[in-house]
Structures are given as C-alpha cells and as structure tokens.
Structure 1
Amino acid sequence: MAGAALSGLGGLSPSLAAGGNYDFGDTLVINNLGGIGNPNLRLQPSDTPAGPVGSSYEHLDERALADLVASGTSAINVTLGHVAGPAEPFEYTVAEIAGWNRIIEQHADKLLKVLRAEDIIEARRSGRTGVIFGFQNTTMLGADTSRVAIFSGLGVRIIQLTYNDGNHVGAGSMVPENSGLTDFGREVVAALNDARVLVDLSHSGEQTCLDAIAASRGPICISHTGCRALSDLPRNKTDTELRALAERGGVAGIYFMPFLKADSFPDAQDVIRHIGHAINICGEDHVGIGTDGGTTAIDDMPAYHAAIDAEIVARRAAGISARGEKPGVVPFIPDLQGPGQFRQLADMMAAAGQPTRIIEKVLGQNFLRLQREIWGA
C-alpha cells in the first residue's frame, strides 16, 4: 500500500539516518485536523490585512503558507463552516466554502483542493499541500439530510457529527447525560455513507461515538483526539471507543492539544505516549495525527497566553468549552510547534523505538488508506 501510494516519490524514507535521526525524506504527512494560518496575527490590530473577520481563514498570510509547505504537510483537513455562534449555519457555511475556493485559486502554486485520495498524492508530487474541506458540527444541515449531498457536491469530504455540546444528531463530549445518537443522527450517518463523506466522531460523547460506529456502513475516523486511559478528560476517547473504531477499519488522529495531560500542561513526550497507547489499543494500521493546530510558531508567548486566556473566558460564556481548557494553557504543545513539528515527531517516535513502518503509517499512510476507501482513488 505505502509503496504503491508513493510511487514516483522515491518510495519510503530510510528508517534512520546516520547519527540516529529519522530521515524524513519523502514521508507523506496527512494532518487530519489542523489549520492554515499565522496565529501571531491575532495579536495585531484588527485592520491587519487578512481574510474576512470571523472566517476560518482570517489569519492566513504568506508566512503561514510558507510554513505549511516547509512542514512537509501533504494534506490537511481544515475546519470550515459553522461550529457555534449566532450566524445562520447554512448560509455561513456556504460562504466559507466559497471563501476557501477563492483562497485555493489565489494560491494554486501552494494549495490543491482534495476531492479524492489521488489529489493528496498529486499535491505531494507537485510540492503543494492538499486542502481537505471538513466540518466540526452538523448544525448547517438543519433538519434536512439532503444537505449532505449538497455539501459533498461542493467538495466537503469530512463531517464531524457534534461539537462539545449537543445537537439534533447526538451528544457532544460535554453533555453530562452521555445520550447517544438520535434517530435523525442515524439518518445523517446513512446520508454521509451514501455521499462517500468520511464520518468524524471527534468531540462526540462516548455513547454517540459508539452508536455512530455501529450505524455506519463503512469505517469512520476520529480526526483529532487523545486517549482517555492516559488523561481522563471528556475530549479524549476511551479504549472501548478506540477498539470499536479499529475493528471497523477506522483511524484515530492524535492531537497536539492540552487535553493530553489531565493537569493540562502536556509536552511533546505526552504526544508520543498517546500515540503509543493508541497503537497498543487500535493496532498500527489505525492511528494517525490530527494536530488541531497549524505550522507557524508563536513569536510572543506571553502576549499569546493573554489572548488565549480571554478566548477561554469567551468559550465558557458561550457554553462550548471543554474540561481541560483553563487560563495559562495554550491550544498546542509549546515544545512541538512550527514547521519542523512533524520531523521532530518522527525523530521522537524513532527514539521511542517505533520502526519506520509504523512512523510512516502514523504520519500519513493510515489516513491515506482510509481516505482512499471512502473517497476513491
């Protein structure tokens, strides 16, 4: 699978280069949930040139694009559309799709819209990054499952059933009752299967997750999560959920987020621990990465801490925060950021004893296999 997928790219990279460092080479990197933007722009005045205020590409600039390419990211699932807030979900989401289409057209030398798995390989061959359109909620569907086909036709390839709170489909991770998938939710899962859209169960409550895995006719993903056995926080997945995912052929992406440690101050070694645990539970063919972040490093950490503290207050007031978000904690791993993060991760996995075969699978091959199965070659 790996050799065939990377034919024309030089094949798999050697396991270890001289000196013991992983030779990143032509390694395929698929970040199954991340962002394309310069987080430093949020610290600048509001009239800083960027995308429309409130959009998912608000802080996208040339530095962010250059860092993305330098990181070796072959494809990235970007969150667009309505997640929470007062905007009309359907209209806002359609506008976001149009906005991202324009961004990709304007930067065709660096970005390529992904509609099928082969587009990821083409992006890698041409030195670009494939952009996968994904949702982190289903509010834009309203009560109409036919909208799944509309969004699929517009190029959306991954749809997450819930955010942290509940919706018409099911319960998010912060819903105390841990209620499961609704009847409408089962209709949505069936519609996603019909449209060959990858079902994403990140942020879902445990029962909603298990119900959706059982209801889906094909494998699903958990694009960005951690392991509840290592950090007992609602945003992480239990071993039961992870096993069920793997048994149906799905893939779980481990994130670079504060939820990796219960006291919310994780470091890069915690990412390695969660990847290792997920491999032990799921098997080496069912673990990937979904960092939930970008590839541009923070220049002024104290100022960024202040900005994030204010955002956490706003998220709590809106009722969309998750346990583990707290002042003093940033939504990334401070010692695993910037365009070198995936090379660093590969080095650390090799140092932890993971063979090349598994490193290659986790960094991209496992998600490529799943995406090929759902979207077609």
Structure 2
Amino acid sequence: MSKQIINRNKKNYDGYKAFQYLEAGKDYQEFKLAKQIDRVPAFVYPVSEAEEEKVQDLLSKEQIISMHEHTFIAPENLSEFYEFRRTGRDFTAYEALSNSGLDVIFENFMDGTAMVTSLAGWKWSDVIHDLGLRYSDIAHQDMIIKAERLSDIYRAKKEGKIAFVGALESCTMIENELDRLDILYGFGIRTMGIVYSEANQLGAGLREPSDGGLTVFGKQAVERMNKLGITIDVSHSGDKTALDTIETSSKPVTINHAGARGLWNTNRMKPDDVIKACAAKGGVIAIEAAPHSTVTANHPEHNIESFMEHFEYTANLVGIDHVAFGPDTLFGDHVGLHDTLSGQLSIKSAQKSDVKRVEYVQGLENPAECFPNILRWLVKKGYSDADIKKVIGTNIIRVLEDTWAK
C-alpha cells in the first residue's frame, strides 16, 4: 500500500496540552515526558489500498471502543516514576489520541500506583486525589468528554470527540465501606474490577496461592454495583473468585483485558471455564496486548499476530458476540515500566519466566496505534462488516445497556 493514509476518524483537537491552564514549575513539578508520537518506529499492518479504504470507512462510520487503556504519558526517565506518581498528576496524551481512531476509551487511570501517601497504592484518599486531578484537566479541554450514560457515548462520535469511561481495576480502596462505591459512581466511575492481583476484602487475586472465592462482603459489593450501574470486571481475579462473581452478579460481567490460558499457561490468562461462564452470563471478553501477556506457542514473540490468535481462540470458544479488545497500553516505555514496577504490581508472577522478551509490542505499542491495525488485521483476514462491527464496539455496547443505569 503506497497511498498516504488519511484518518477519517480524526477528532476535533484544538491543540490543548495537559494542565496547560497551570504554570509548569510553579503550580506543579515538571517532568520530561516520553514522546506521544513516534517513540518507536510506526507500524502499519500491511493491507492493500482497497482494504485500507474499507478500514477507513469502518473507522468513520462505526463506534470504535477500547475496553481497557491507560492514556497517560509516562516519564521519559523511568527512574523518576515513583516521584512522578507521588504527585498524583497524570498527563493525558490528547494529541496522539486525536488521531487514534477511537471513539470510546475505558480509561483505567493508574490507581495501582496511586502513591501520594503510600507506595502500596490503592489507598482511598490517593485514588480520589488521582481522579480529581485527572478530571480537572479533562474539564479544561473540549475533545474528551466523561461518559456517564450511553447517550454520552453516542454524542461523542457525532461531535468528533472521544468518550472516556471512568474505570478502576480493583475495589481495594473501598476497604469494607459499601457506600464508597456510590461515591466513586458519583465521581464518574462506571466499571470496576473486583480485585487486582493481591487479595482484598472482596476476594482473591490471580497472584494468591489459594483462592477462597468471593467473600460475603464481596457478594454485597457485587449487589451494590449491580444496583448502581457499575459494570463489574474480573480480569485480575483468581479463577474461583471470578466464577463466584459471575454467578453472584444479576447482570453480565466482563473480562476487559486478558487472553486465553488455553494458548498461554499463565495466571494472567483466563481458563476456558471462566471465559465460557462470562459469555454464558452475557458478558464480553476483551483481549489485551500489554507486553509479554498474549503470547502463544505459534507466536512466541509478542506481536499483533499472537494477540489476534488469542482473539480467534476466544471467538471460536464462545462465539463472536462475546469478544472485543482491551489492549491495556500507554504512552511511553511499557516494557521498561513493567520492569520498574515488577514487584509493585506483581507483574512477574503473572508471566512465564522464559517468555521471549521484546522491547515493545509491534503494531500495538500505544493507544493511538492499536485499533487501526486491529481493523486492518480483521479486514485482511476476511471478517465480515457485521462481525467487525460487533468486536470493535457493539458487543461492548450491549453489555453497557445491560449493566448501566438507564
């Protein structure tokens, strides 16, 4: 394909930079951030001109939804990361996102590394601090809107904007206080994971050596989230806790960033029985692309081919109506950040020690690169427009219709 690519889903971006309403160095500590664009060589999945035309048509007409991202920009020098997170101020990559092709982003913030008062993360006051600062910045610009109802999602596409769905990867910060779920809902949070890798009051995470399942309090929290209209996620839950959550919930549950353990045997991937239970309840399984996660025996070097093998395995297992994409990417050196946070976030315990290391995941390096390449792959492989529409958007919309407040 030699013709220059023109993105037909480019957003109405006015040049706003994160926190530009403040004075760097005076109002906040300034850090040199990684490049938003061209940090690594750009990769365009190879397609013909006719196939690219179809990709651009889909981008312009359909709802393009990522079910899991972190759209902040990491510091260029990762030795500064702990100091950077101590301020609780994350900088959104508005410029790059304007050309991402995305209409809806489930923004998962960085609350496992909310370190304003504690290096352990997940503290209530730190999470509220993080959310407040990020939403303050979002309130000062016009390209991204908070998605609190389905109407916001539809409006964003029509207005050339991006809808941010507020998401947290764990309920750890609520401790034993159910009303904190209401407070987080009031802040704009619309999806939450039951637990991160370490156990909390609700259940066991994937790192734990034993999994007793959802606790009594966990069942109460599930009921409250169902009533509030918070979509429940079990991506990081232990297997029994995940199954208990799916059974307890009166509404569909998601796995918004994972892969298939049937292809890659690590705790971070989900086994067939959990995937099947999620789908049987009406949920959706979104495939992730964080470095060294969705690897396969056929593609031991993590790239778009191994990622899409997990997609096809899951689609074949439970049907095309129950799969989507949650790449779980960010702006900056993702591999280096994993190395920096390997103990903090239990990353190594969820990966095979003999995984073939890559510097970055080609074709899926950041939130601005993923979906045009995912669409190119799907078009190249001959997927129908109807099936593509499902996996890039409508499968997720169906779950939100079932789980969000009307």
Verify same fold: TM over 0.5.
yes
| Maintained 8 Å contact 1:42/1:59 | no
Q: Which residue of 1 aligns with 2:149?
A: 116
CA contact (8 A) 1:37 1:57 kept: no
Counterpart AA for 1:280: N
**1:128-207 maps to which residues of 2 (within 5 A)?**
128-207=161-240
CA contact (8 A) 2:363 2:373 kept: no
1:79 deviation in Å? 1.7
Map of 1:242 onto structure 2 = 275
Equivalent residue for 1:74, pick from 85, 89, 103: 103
**Structure-2 residue corresponding to 1:90:** 124
Structure 1 position 283, deviation (Å):
1.3
**Deviation sequence 1:104-141 (CA, Å, 0-9, x none):** 1112x211001011211111111111111111111211
Q: 1:317 to 1:66 in 2, by over 3 A?
A: closer
Code of the aligned partner of 2:151: E
Indicate whether 1:43 and 2:74 are aligned: no
TM-score, length-normalised on structure 1?
0.83
User: Secondary structure of the residue that 1:224 maps to in structure 2?
Assistant: strand
Q: State the shift of 1:96 in Å.
A: 1.6
Deviates further, 72-81 or 366-375: 72-81
Q: Displacement of 1:216 after TM fit? A: 0.1
Q: 1:184 to 1:38 in 2, by over 3 A?
A: same
**How far apart in 2 are the matches of 1:201 and 1:309?**
21
- Alignment check: 8 A CA contact 1:305 1:329 kept: no
Which amino acid in structure 1 is aligned with residue 146 of structure 2? K
In the TM superposition, what is the alpha-carbon distance from 1:237 to its structure 2 partner? 0.8
How far is 1:336 from its partner?
A: 2.5
Give the conservation status (yes or no) of the 8 Å contact 1:252–1:286. yes
Structure 2 CA distance for aligned equivalents of residues 17 and 118 of structure 1:
36
Partner Cα distance (2:221, 2:94) in 1: 34
In 2, the alpha carbon distance for the partners of 1:45 and 1:83 equals 18
Q: What secondary structure does 1:230 align onto? A: coil
Q: Tell me the equivalent position of 1:287.
A: 323
C-alpha change, 1:243 and 1:332, in structure 2 (3 Å) is: farther
Matched residues in 2 for 1:238 and 1:331: separation? 27
Give the match's secondary structure for 2:165. strand
What secondary structure does 1:119 align onto?
helix
What is the match of residue 30 of structure 2?
none
- 2:133 matched residue in structure 1: 99
Counterpart amino acid of residue 290 in structure 1? G
Work out the CA distance in 1 between the residues paired with 2:120 and 2:80.
21
Q: Deviations over 1:6-47 (max 9, x none)?
A: xxx9xxxxxx996334333223211111021234x3338959
CA deviations over 1:241-283 (Å, ceiling 9, x no partner): 1111111111111011221116863111111111111111121
Structure 1 residues 207 and 87, CA gap change in structure 2 (3 angstroms): closer
Cα displacement (A) at 1:315: 2.5
1:20 and 2:51 are equivalent in the alignment: yes
1:368 aligns with 2:397: yes
Quick check: 1:93–1:140 contact (8 Å CA) kept in 2? Answer: yes
How far 1:369 moved relative to its partner?
1.6
Of the structure 1 ranges 88-97 and 237-246, higher mean CA displacement relative to structure 2 is found in 88-97
Q: Secondary structure at the match of 1:211?
A: helix
Alpha carbons 2:246, 2:277 under 8 Å: kept: yes
**Equivalenced residues, count:** 346
Residues 103 and 162 of structure 2 are in contact (CA less than 8 Å); yes or no, is this contact kept in structure 1?
yes
Q: Of residues 329, 334, 337 in structure 1, which corresponds to 2:362?
A: 334
The AA in structure 2 aligned to 1:93 is V
Residue equivalent to 1:6: none
Query: Equivalents in 2 of 1:199, 1:345: separation in Å?
Result: 25
Amino acid at match of 1:284: I
Letter in 2 for 1:323: A
Report if aligned partners of 1:28, 1:124 keep a CA contact under 8 Å in 2: yes
Q: What residue identity is the alignment partner of 1:333?
A: V
Classify the secondary structure of the residue corresponding to 1:94.
helix
* Preserved contact between residue 88 and residue 133 of structure 2 (Cα < 8 Å): no
Displacement of 1:177: 1.2
Find the residue that maps to 2:321 and give its secondary structure: coil
Tell me if structure 2 keeps the 8 A contact 1:38–1:59: yes
State the Cα distance separating 1:185 from its structure 2 match. Answer: 0.8
Secondary structure of the structure 2 residue equivalent to 1:185: helix
Root mean square deviation of aligned Cα? 2.8
**Distance in 2, Cα, partners of 1:341 & 1:366:** 18
2:214 touches 2:244 (CA, 8 Å); kept in 1?
A: yes
Aligned to 2:383: 354
Mapped partners of 1:340, 1:27: distance in 2: 17
TM-score (norm: length of structure 2): 0.77
* Displacement after TM superposition at 1:376 (Å): 4.4
Q: What is the CA–CA distance in structure 2 between the aligned matches of 1:67 and 1:262, rounded to whole Å?
A: 30
- Quick check: 330-339 or 92-101, which moved more? 330-339
* Aligned-partner Cα distance in 2 for 1:138–1:167: 8
Q: Call closer, same or farther: CA 1:36–1:308 in 2, change over 3 Å.
A: closer
Letter in 2 for 1:34: E
- Structure 1 partner of 2:295: 261
Q: State the Cα deviation string for residues 139-183 of structure 1 (Å, max 9, x = none).
A: 211111121112112211001011111111111111121331111
Q: Name the residue aligned to 1:324.
A: 351
